[in-house]
A and B are shown apart, each in its own frame.
Chain A
Amino acid sequence: MKNKKCVAMLLAGGQGSRLGVLTSKIAKPAVPYGGKYRIIDFPLSNCTNSGIDTVGILTQYKPLELNDYVGSGKPWDLDRLDGGVHILPPYQGQEGGDWYKGTANAIYQNLEFIARYNPEYVLILSGDHIYKMDYSKMINQHIEDGADCTIAVLEVSMEEATRFGIMNTHEDGTIYEFEEKPANPKSNLASMGIYVFSWEKLRKYLIEDENNPDSSNDFGKNIIPNMLKDGQKLKVYRFNDYWKDVGTVDSLWEANLDLLNPKIDLNLSDSNWRIYSRTNGMPPQYISDTAKVENSLVTEGCEIYGNIDYSILFNNVTVEEGATVDYSLIMPGAVIKKGANVRYAIIAENAVIEENADIGGDPAVVGTDGWGITVIGAGLSVGKNAKVSANKMIVNDVKEGDEI
């Protein structure tokens, strides 16, 4: 096995509980995005486009869909003779095994995997964000700075800074302090959860941390502060492009509709930085003569007979005649039947909205008090003439005529 310059470890084990029913059966990185993608397509495509060909994906929560999707990694060019993508679930050793206790523990349990490639650097990623990034630039800066750890940061507004892990730095970008969700932020550099470590340092701190029974085995809470305390050289890598967390229903919805915003530069088929995904075998979309499609993204397998405005239709979606879809995400295989109206909603995979049902609320009409995106869970059906108002998360079928 060849020595690799950098191995990427992608933390994909979390439940993403804030996405509610959207992650009740699948892990967050497997959640559909942008019509034909899944969230994990972004870190994977970024890796392959950055020249990183060895990626470990650490799974834990409901990994089946994700495992199936990733497969041998071919769609992302990660099906390689040496390296490639590897799914890394928790496993049994000679002395038993353990679920991943925290982000640092998850990497700790896979030190042997990383060691097989004897890399110089390790890139830690999460599968929670939509962004295009050339990791090789971050790694080069890490090397030039002679840093022990480099943390990618995004400039946020001072108000937003209270919600993030904030890096307080000297002028030269050296981190002297890390504050988690500070009430009075001293800087506006928010951690993106993307770290480059020198391999030996990472190994040392992970082992020390594992031997500390009081640790929560978390990068942000334990590893980074410990390295700071010991006077290790930590630097920030500034990232300036689009980056969106998709951990909540609102942010997932927004991140999708950002694709429709002409002011936001998020071109996913830029030949210089393509985002790959696994799809095949679906016919082109058909737009009928009763359809009206404006300001939207529609993809393969769709059959559109109704009106679509400012929405994203995923693969194999059917919108029947007289149905309307506005400001919504209709995920793969969902069906919106005749006369149904969907607005400001996320209709998850294979859900069926029966005739004349009414989903979601327009904030301009129902007011912004208590307003929110309505979510219909995967595979559910909302009966004829049923009505589901704004800010609802539906986890069971809705009977004909019911009002929620």
Chain B
Amino acid sequence: MRTATVAGIVFANSNDKLLKRLTTHRSMASVPFGARYRLIDFSLSNLVNAGITNIGIITKEKYRSLMDHIESGVHWDLDRKNGGLRLLPPYSESGIKRYSGTVDALHGAKDYIKRCKADYIVLCAADILANVDISAVIKTHIKTEADITTVYHNGILPPNREDAMLFTLNTDNRITAIGFDGEVGAEHKYGIGITVIARELLLKLVDDAYDNDLPSFNRNVLARKVSSLKILGYEHSGFVTLMNGTDTYYKANMALLESDVRRQLFQKDRPIYTKIRDDMPTRYGTKAKVTNSLIADGCVINGTVKNSIIFRGVTVEKGAVVENSILMQETSVGIDTQLNNVIADKNAVIGDGMVLKGTDEKRFFIEKNEIV
């Protein structure tokens, strides 16, 4: 089946500032999530599951961690001659210029867009957590002969997302108005950062916007074209989370403890792929007491773990109690240590007999490589 007619572009640094401590040294795309993933795994897997194997990742800064994660793309089946995965770091004809907006970013990626031989481009934001059937979106886009199709979710608008597009649709799903800054806590049809557009049209719109110094593709281009272009909305009614802060990040991880959410995010016919570490299965010791938790491979659990998300290679020693916490890769928890409402970044070392408790309002954050 010829699938080379669609290419994908992922924005790796979408809204880095919203997850402050987790993005100090990494892009939003690289933020660890769900015991074994990075946020970008969802966008990449959505694209790959739609048969899209030509994918460019636009990055602005702090992309070392991302480069390390994606390697050759082989883990998403993207180590290809035909297409493949490409990192698109900042590029500009007139010296190195970091992207200052999505128009800039897309303009900098023009070379890639021009050369990718695709009829359509799917734009994805890395800060959206969802399993979306992008091939269904593309099919609809082609069938309805839309100029642009963008995916939305009908739900409560979270705070800190003034950048989210809010749609008004008519009965034919045509978007008649795009607004921003909607009422937080109220129900809206908000965009989830997945847009299908013909490659030629994208190039034209980006060129026009760039020549006119317009910064944002959504706000300054799409929002102004609802009358002149046929922009359709495609509803995604399944589970979705817009990252808007550490609290949402925490709650999104914890949502995975519900079987319904797992069923929606991890689908057998649209799996989420990620980099493989070849860990051994997780070992539970004699005194292990694990309940309501999501555990990755390579862990050694000898203590109590409750309501927690445990990443790969984590060790929890005897007598330790870990509750309501997120422990990222290679964290170690010492003997008799108690953790509650803790988020530990990679390689954190927590010694014996420690007591670290955060609260619902303010979780206890341990930095990457920190020794406590």
Binding site for B on A (CB under 8 A): 34-36, 74, 260, 267-269, 274-277, 279-300, 303, 308, 312-313
Q: Which residues of B contact A292 (CB under 8 A)?
A: 289
| A287-B291 in contact (CB<8A) | yes
Per the bound structure, the CA–CA distance linking A34 and B295 in Å amounts to 17
* CB-based nearest B residue for A278: B276
* CB-based nearest A residue for B298: A269
Binding site for A on B (CB under 8 A): 34-36, 74-75, 256-257, 259, 262, 265-266, 271-274, 276, 278-298
| B284-A293 in contact (CB<8A) | yes
Would A286 and B262 be within 8 Å (CB), given that A291-B290, A294-B288, A299-B297 are in contact?
yes
Per the bound structure, the CA–CA distance linking A400 and B40 in Å amounts to 47
Per the bound structure, the CA–CA distance linking A294 and B302 in Å amounts to 9
| A269-B294 in contact (CB<8A) | no
Per the bound structure, the CA–CA distance linking A280 and B48 in Å amounts to 14
Per the bound structure, the CA–CA distance linking A313 and B284 in Å amounts to 11
Q: Which residues of B contact A267 (CB under 8 A)?
A: 280
Per the bound structure, the CA–CA distance linking A294 and B313 in Å amounts to 18
Could you list 17 further interchain pairs (A-B, Cβ under 8 angstroms) beyond the known A289-B291, A294-B287, A300-B36?
A35-B281, A277-B278, A280-B75, A280-B271, A281-B272, A282-B271, A283-B262, A284-B295, A284-B297, A285-B294, A286-B259, A292-B289, A293-B284, A295-B286, A296-B284, A298-B281, A300-B296
Per the bound structure, the CA–CA distance linking A356 and B284 in Å amounts to 25
Q: Which residues of B contact A268 (CB under 8 A)?
A: 280
Per the bound structure, the CA–CA distance linking A288 and B256 in Å amounts to 12
9 pairs of residues in contact across A and B, judged by CB atoms under 8 Å: A275-B280, A284-B34, A287-B291, A292-B289, A295-B288, A296-B283, A298-B281, A298-B284, A303-B259
* CB-based nearest B residue for A316: B268
**Interface of chain A, main secondary structure:** loop
Nearest Cβ on chain A to B330's Cβ, whole angstroms: 12
Per the bound structure, the CA–CA distance linking A269 and B256 in Å amounts to 26
* CB-based nearest B residue for A285: B295
Per the bound structure, the CA–CA distance linking A292 and B282 in Å amounts to 14
Per the bound structure, the CA–CA distance linking A290 and B282 in Å amounts to 19
| A36-B281 in contact (CB<8A) | yes
Per the bound structure, the CA–CA distance linking A282 and B274 in Å amounts to 9
Q: Which residues of B contact A299 (CB under 8 A)?
A: 281-282, 297
Per the bound structure, the CA–CA distance linking A279 and B273 in Å amounts to 10
Q: Which residues of A contact B288 (CB under 8 A)?
A: 293-295
Nearest Cβ on chain A to B154's Cβ, whole angstroms: 26
Per the bound structure, the CA–CA distance linking A292 and B288 in Å amounts to 9
Q: Which residues of B contact A296 (CB under 8 A)?
A: 283-284
| B272-A283 in contact (CB<8A) | yes
| A36-B297 in contact (CB<8A) | yes
Per the bound structure, the CA–CA distance linking A285 and B296 in Å amounts to 6
Nearest Cβ on chain A to B221's Cβ, whole angstroms: 36
| B293-A297 in contact (CB<8A) | no
| B293-A287 in contact (CB<8A) | yes
Q: B272, B283, B284, B285 — which one has the most chain A CB atoms within 10 A of its CB?
A: B284
Nearest Cβ on chain B to A235's Cβ, whole angstroms: 34
Per the bound structure, the CA–CA distance linking A295 and B286 in Å amounts to 5
* CB-based nearest B residue for A301: B266
**Interface of chain B, main secondary structure:** loop
Q: Which residues of A contact B287 (CB under 8 A)?
A: 294
Q: Which residues of A contact B262 (CB under 8 A)?
A: 283, 286
Nearest Cβ on chain A to B301's Cβ, whole angstroms: 8
Q: Which residues of A contact B259 (CB under 8 A)?
A: 286, 303
Nearest Cβ on chain B to A282's Cβ, whole angstroms: 7
* CB-based nearest B residue for A74: B74
Q: A260, A269, A280, A281 — which one has the most chain B CB atoms within 10 A of its CB?
A: A281
* CB-based nearest A residue for B74: A74
Q: Which residues of A contact B293 (CB under 8 A)?
A: 286-287
Q: Which residues of B contact A287 (CB under 8 A)?
A: 290-293, 295
Q: Which residues of A contact B294 (CB under 8 A)?
A: 284-286
| B284-A312 in contact (CB<8A) | no
* CB-based nearest B residue for A282: B271
Per the bound structure, the CA–CA distance linking A54 and B39 in Å amounts to 37
The 8 Å CB contact of B273, one of A276, A280, A290, A313, is A280
Nearest Cβ on chain B to A147's Cβ, whole angstroms: 34
Nearest Cβ on chain A to B353's Cβ, whole angstroms: 24
Per the bound structure, the CA–CA distance linking A285 and B282 in Å amounts to 9
Q: Which residues of B contact A293 (CB under 8 A)?
A: 284, 288, 290
Nearest Cβ on chain B to A266's Cβ, whole angstroms: 9
| A269-B280 in contact (CB<8A) | yes
The 8 Å CB contact of B284, one of A269, A279, A295, A303, is A295
| B292-A269 in contact (CB<8A) | no
* CB-based nearest B residue for A305: B259
* CB-based nearest B residue for A274: B278
| A289-B285 in contact (CB<8A) | no
* CB-based nearest A residue for B295: A285
| A297-B280 in contact (CB<8A) | yes
Per the bound structure, the CA–CA distance linking A290 and B35 in Å amounts to 21
Would A291 and B291 be within 8 Å (CB), given that A275-B278, A281-B271, A312-B281 are in contact?
yes
Q: Which residues of A contact B274 (CB under 8 A)?
A: 280
Nearest Cβ on chain A to B323's Cβ, whole angstroms: 12
The 8 Å CB contact of A295, one of B36, B285, B298, is B285
Q: A34, A36, A280, A288 — which one has the most chain B CB atoms within 10 A of its CB?
A: A280
Per the bound structure, the CA–CA distance linking A312 and B26 in Å amounts to 37
The 8 Å CB contact of A269, one of B278, B286, B291, B295, is B278
Nearest Cβ on chain B to A34's Cβ, whole angstroms: 7
Q: Which residues of B contact A286 (CB under 8 A)?
A: 256-257, 259, 262, 293-295
Q: Which residues of B contact A300 (CB under 8 A)?
A: 36, 296-297
Per the bound structure, the CA–CA distance linking A267 and B266 in Å amounts to 29
Q: Which residues of B contact A260 (CB under 8 A)?
A: 283
Q: Which residues of A contact B257 (CB under 8 A)?
A: 286
Q: Which residues of A contact B280 (CB under 8 A)?
A: 34-36, 267-269, 275, 297
Per the bound structure, the CA–CA distance linking A289 and B256 in Å amounts to 14
| B75-A297 in contact (CB<8A) | no
Per the bound structure, the CA–CA distance linking A312 and B282 in Å amounts to 10
